[in-house]
Structure 1
Amino acid sequence: MLWQAISAVRDLGRLHDIAAVLIRYGFGDLVRRIGLAGVLERTGRALHWHVSEDLARLESPARVRRALEELGPTFVKLGQILATRVDLFPPDWIAEFSKLQDAAVAVPFADLRAQLTEDLGEPPEDIFPRLESEALAAASLAQVHRAWLADGTPVILKIRRPGIRPLVEADLRLIKRLAEILESEAPDLRRYHPREVVRQFTLSLRRELDFSTEGRSAERIATSFEAHPEIVIPRIYWTWTCERLNVQDYIEGIPGRNLAALDATGLDRALLAQRGTDAVLKMILEDGFFHADLHPGNIYYLPDNRIAFIDFGMVGRISGERRYQLAVLLHGLVSHDSATVSDVLLDWSENTETVSDTLQVEIDAFVDQYHGVELRKLDIARLLSELLTILRDHGLTLPPDLALLFKAFITLEGLGRQLNPGFDMTSAIAPFLEKVLLAYSAPEAIAKRGWRTLIDALGLIASLPKDLSRLLRSARRGKLQIQVEVIPLKHFGEKIDRAVSRLALSIITAALIIGTAIVSNINGPDGGLSTLGLFGFIAAASGGIWVLISIWRSGKD
């Protein structure tokens, strides 16, 4: 219960705040199930916590989004990660999570100066002759200031907020504990895999806190587009970039959200949609390393129909095997091969090994509706959405890399249609999928996989005598153990153990009562109860209270 969730007193106040927000937004039942209601009940009555009529009329996705916004920066970041889990949440939830904006009030520049001087090694004015003290943008983890180098080059300084890491780490500890409680106390929420989502979120947020990691990601993508002048990636200035500071080129262009300004400049919307799509598909299907947060705020349109991508704090990685599986999946759809589609889905899913009859029927029907459809005529976004619906209905989940991939594809089509209503995602993706299939089947690729398999097999054969020797040695010494774990019997054994413990303590308590009653008949030196009798009464009362509490809690469980 609650005392198991709190290992550090320093987090208790923050846990109280979280429970208060959840109750205010109508999630009191959730608070009760995770063991917080008993402690907060009196406080809630005193503070008159209730759900307002306006909040009560909101749908659950909107209420969750509002609660995350109120809980602060770390939880806003969590919501942004949840927006990528299109395999766990239906479209209405994803749409709400996608509304979470990472905005915050800017810290006064005077409060940043000491940290900035420490990171630069000298006062900022000595490096940047002109530095704007007013923030260009402010988010939960950092804020951006515009500056100019000595040669007049405009740059931006992305500065991490002072003292933000300890606050984030405290929230991460609480979120981890809450996820553990949810999995154990709320069975209907286990399908969302809270612990795995929190683990992915923790890794992502810690990477995002290191601005040098973002710089390396931007540089890696910039290298892959060296032969594509129509795609612009800001240059990173490594002389000053570190964990808490990122100095990069200032991009002056039309923000992705400002379509009116785009039309006023006479840029070609259709060409921009094509170039942007080709760039993203290249990152995903050719490079296997892509920008995973492609919303309009991270895209700028430049003269000569060029496109700039910024903010590489969230990136995705897709192995060659995953890319090949995606191509095989689409090929299985157009060739009416439901077995292939099932195999790919099972390879992708993390929590099943066999296909149920119902799942196989749904996959057959899903494949049948695309029978005879050419690859170039497939609606990729709709196809992926339907696949995700099947996965969710059967409790199947995707690994984080594939969840990001699906999200990127769906977002990409939305951005393409925003620029060009006649945008055809399938025509754009078809050449890249063909390249993936050809590259996987190329003699060099086959030889490389064969050589790697041969090396692994030889390594296994070479280690086999030693492994057998260890196995036989353990058997001769009587140390060879075979463990068979039957979960229902394990739970039954735990219940028996608790019952026996209570019975033993009840017997001891009864013995103490009887013994103390006998001892109490013997007066002490002053005519009162003896010290031994007093201690006996206290011990018996404590044991009895513990037994009653244990039985009451067991009945609630």
Structure 2
Amino acid sequence: MKTTLRFITPGQALRLLSIQRVLIRHGLDEIVFATHLFRPVRFLFYLLPWNWFRRSQASRAERMRMALEDLGPIYVKFGQLLSTRGDLLPQDMAAEFSRLQDHVPPFPGDQARAIIEQALGGRLEDHFHEFDDTPLASASIAQVHAAVCHDGRRVIVKVVRPGIGRTIRRDLGLIWILAQLAEKYAPGGHFMRPTNVVREFERTIWNELDLLREAASASQLRRNFIDSDVLYVPEVHWDLSHHDVLVMERISGIPVRDVEALEAAGMDLKWLAEAGIEAFFTMVFRDSFFHADMHPGNIFVSHPEADKPPRFILVDFGIMSSLSEYDQRYLAENFLAFLDRDYQRVAELHVESGWVPPYTRVDEFEFAIRSVCEPLLDRPMREISIGDLLLRLFQTARQFNMEILPQLLLLQKTLVNVEGLGRSLYADVDLWQTARPLLDSWMNERLGVRGLYKSTKRNLPLWIDRLPSLPNKAIHVLERLHENRLQMEMRSDQLDDIKREIRRHSQRTIYAVSGSVFVLAAAVIFGLDSQPAMFAGIPAIAWLLGLGGLGLLFVSLRE
């Protein structure tokens, strides 16, 4: 769903005043006055009474984080998205925004009951034997309640907050307006393209609001790991789920951030750290479908049993992502090339994959990558952060007009979370050493003899189906080529813009010709001394020229 607002509504105007009050309270009006738009009246900043007193000693990044928390849940979620854009934000600000958490007061249990009854129909008692009005957790989009089904299944019920759609529309409209102003007036705004960030945020938050979409994501991930000894995904109860209500199996486990409890339960923390890394890389490269919000609050570890090893349990599937096979391949090759310090290959892969423009000079790009990576890779492998490496690579590639894909940014953010999780469990875990066998195996599967066999086996039925018609199509193309009747159709936004520009110039030319013809016709009517052939009292040549001009004008308007 896309929000495009041209005017500020009265409600948004009031909201803008409240935002201004929050910014002033945190001393952020100095940022507003530093922009190109308000720089001519910057002297007013020193005339405002609240600037005469001692300001907060917190850093600018801390003040911005606190302001977002005061502005409410939509701005908190926007800040969380911005924390993934380390390629755009200063490092201190991206790090501070990553600390943003949803601290939203719960809404009353009777409202949750009403939403469930409206979504599922009938009374709540028709669907659940027990329902706890006190929520287990409350976030910006929804809150979670514990319940028991009539058949004894223990479940959690996730319910969308009442009126959240209206709040999202109002605040998104303001964020769009602020982003458009920033893009136009802020230093570097045109390069950073904040409207693209808002567009990505808008898509993400509307997707989170649809709990059926989250249910589908959870079901897909569960199928991918149904036989796994490392990862468990709770079951979705589709018969009780709706756009505004999600019912899932209730899990029991130890929060992964509680390292003392894991040790007390006799867990092998080194194994846990390596297993978590392997599970994530399996999502990315085997399934091309990964949980993109793997912070410690969304990960638990099952209690150990005599016949089963502990497993990671994931919850909250509102933010998922995937990579195309094309991106998978180049990402794996990039990682392996980094490990081998083959920077020329890294540069070539970026050009081949289309991540940077085709006119990019490989030698210049290689030198830039080398200058960024050598200081990092000169350290012991266990001290190298793959997330930091990707981030620095993205920052460097931006200088070469690389358009960072949203799925790559989500991957980078999740890698940082996975690395932090692994090292919180076992400080000496080597992510590179753990991931390399998986990458080598994936590359052999896709690019080796086995990969060629699988690809051929998968595509052979399609080739056989199309083979009988192939000779006729080839002969048809050759005949049209021989007769100079072969046409190629090219489609792109830039070509469409060029066509429109040519059409405008063509129309102007036609208007000029038409006007000239009309003038000439008038000259014939009023300026001829001889007696030409007449029709209805007007020279015939004037009729011809006039009708010709009208015809040209009609054709131009039809264009």
Task: Give TM-score, length-normalised by structure 1.
Answer: 0.74
* Secondary structure, counterpart of 1:144 in structure 2: strand
Task: Answer yes or no: is 1:342 the counterpart of 2:352.
Answer: no
Output the amino acid matched with 2:247.
Answer: V
The Cα shift of 1:366 comes to 4.6
Q: How does 1:405-416 map to 2 (within 5 A)?
A: 405-416=411-422
Q: Which residue of 1 aligns with 2:429?
A: 423
Q: Which amino acid aligns with 2:414?
A: A
1:251 counterpart residue number: 251
Cα deviation code 1:468-509 (max 9, x no counterpart): 97989xxxxxxx9966989xxxxxxxxxxxxxxxxxxxxxxx
Question: Which residue number corresponds to residue 102 of structure 1?
Answer: 102
8 Å contact from structure 1 (residues 350, 399) kept in 2: no
Cα distance in 2 between the residues matched to 1:462 and 1:379: 56
The answer on whether the counterparts of 1:88 and 1:397 sit within 8 Å (CA) in structure 2 is no
User: Would the alpha carbon gap of residues 52 and 298 (structure 1) be closer, same or farther in structure 2, given more than 3 Å must change?
Assistant: farther
Cα 1:52–1:24, aligned 2, differ >3 Å: closer, same or farther?
farther
Distance 2:412 2:140 in 1: 26
Query: 1:211-226 counterparts in 2 under 5 A?
Result: 211-226=211-226
1:87 pairs with 2:87:
yes
Aligned counterpart for 2:323 among listed residues 301, 318, 327: 318
User: Which residues in structure 2 correspond to 1:352-391 (within 5 Å)?
Assistant: 353-355=359-361, 359-366=365-372, 380-391=386-397
Change (3 A) 1:22 1:139: same
Moved more, 230-239 or 90-99: 90-99
Root-mean-square deviation over aligned CA pairs: 4.0
The answer to whether the 8 A contact 1:132-1:147 is kept is yes
Cα deviations across residues 153-172 of structure 1 (Å, max 9, x unaligned)?
21111111111111101111
In 2, are the aligned partners of 1:334 and 1:375 still within 8 Å (CA)? no
Residue deviations 1:202-232 (CA, integer Å, cap 9, x gap) = 1100000001111110110000001114321
For 1:371 and 1:72, how far apart are their aligned partners in 2? 41
Of stretches 284-293 and 372-381 in structure 1, the one that deviates more from structure 2 is 372-381
Map of 2:338 onto structure 1: 333
**For the Cα contact (< 8 Å) 1:119–1:240, is it kept in 2?**
no
How far is 1:131 from its partner?
1.1
**What is the alpha-carbon distance in structure 1 between the residues aligned to residue 154 and residue 135 of structure 2?**
15
Taking every aligned residue pair, what percent have the same amino acid on both sides?
A: 33
Distance 2:78 2:313 in 1: 26
Q: CA deviation at 1:461?
A: 11
Aligned to 1:515: none
Measured in 2, the distance between the counterparts of 1:485 and 1:404 equals 38
Deviates more, 1:295-304 or 1:352-361: 352-361
Aligned residues: 472
Separation (CA, whole Å) in 2 of partners of 1:461 and 1:36: 67
Q: Distance in 2 between matches of 1:460 and 1:162?
A: 61
Distance 1:81 1:368, change over 3 A: closer
Pair 1:195-2:195 in alignment = yes
Taking a change above 3 Å as real, the CA distance of residues 224 and 387 of structure 1, as seen in their structure-2 partners, is same
Q: How many Å separate the matches in 2 of 1:213 and 1:200?
A: 17
Aligned partner letter, 1:408 = T
1:433 matched residue in structure 2: 439
Does the 8 Å contact 2:254/2:303 carry over to 1? no
Following TM superposition, by how much is the alpha carbon of 1:445 offset from its aligned partner in structure 2, in angstroms? 5.8
- The amino acid that maps onto 2:208 is E
- Residue number in structure 1 paired with 2:515: none
Asked if structure 2 preserves the Cα contact closer than 8 Å seen for 1:26 and 1:51, the reply is no
Structure 2 residue aligned with 1:13:
14
- The one-letter code sitting in structure 2 at the alignment partner of 1:354 is T
- Quote how far apart the aligned CAs of 1:188 are: 2.1
Q: Is the 8 A contact 1:144 1:156 kept in 2?
A: yes
Q: How far did 1:440 drift?
A: 2.6
Once the two structures are superposed, the pairs formed by residues 62-73 of structure 1 within 5 Å of their partners are 62-73=62-73
Does the 8 Å CA contact 1:376/1:430 hold for their aligned counterparts? no
Partner in structure 2 of residue 443 of structure 1: 452
Give me the whole-angstrom Cα distance separating, in 2, the residues matched to 1:209 and 1:359. 41
Q: Shift of residue 380 of structure 1?
A: 3.1
C-alpha distance in 2, partners of 1:128/1:308? 25
Q: What is the one-letter code of the residue matched to 1:290? A: F
Q: CA deviation at 1:173?
A: 1.6
Distance 1:422 1:348, change over 3 A: farther
For residues 110 and 212 of structure 1, the distance between their equivalents in structure 2, rounded to whole angstroms, comes to 22
Task: Please list every run of 5 or more consecutive structure 1 residues that lacks an aligned counterpart in the other structure.
Answer: 473-479, 487-557
Aligned counterparts of 2:474 and 2:71: Cα–Cα separation in 1 = 51
Residue pair 2:133, 2:145 contacting (<8 A) in 1 also? yes
Preserved CA contact (<8 Å) 2:350 2:356: no
AA aligned to 1:236 is V
Give secondary structure in 2 for the equivalent of 1:88.
coil
1:45-103 per-residue CA deviation (whole Å, 9 max, x = no partner) reads: 99955597453x22222222112111111111111111222332344223211111112
* Deviating more after overlay: 194-203 vs 445-454: 445-454
Q: Per-residue displacement from partner, 1:89-124 (whole Å, max 9, x unpaired)?
A: 344223211111112111111222222211121211
Distance between the aligned counterparts of 1:470 and 1:24, measured in 2? 68
Contact 1:334 1:370 in 2 (8 A): no
The 1:128/1:297 distance shift into structure 2, 3 A limit, reads: same
**Shift, 1:279, TM fit:** 1.3
1:299 has 2:299 as partner: yes
Counterpart residue type for residue 410 of structure 1: V
**Matching residue of 1:149:** 149
What amino acid does structure 2 have at the position aligned with 1:443?
L
Q: Work out the CA distance in 2 between the residues paired with 1:209 and 1:151.
A: 29
Aligned-pair CA distance for 1:394: 6.2
Q: TM-score, normalised by structure 2?
A: 0.74
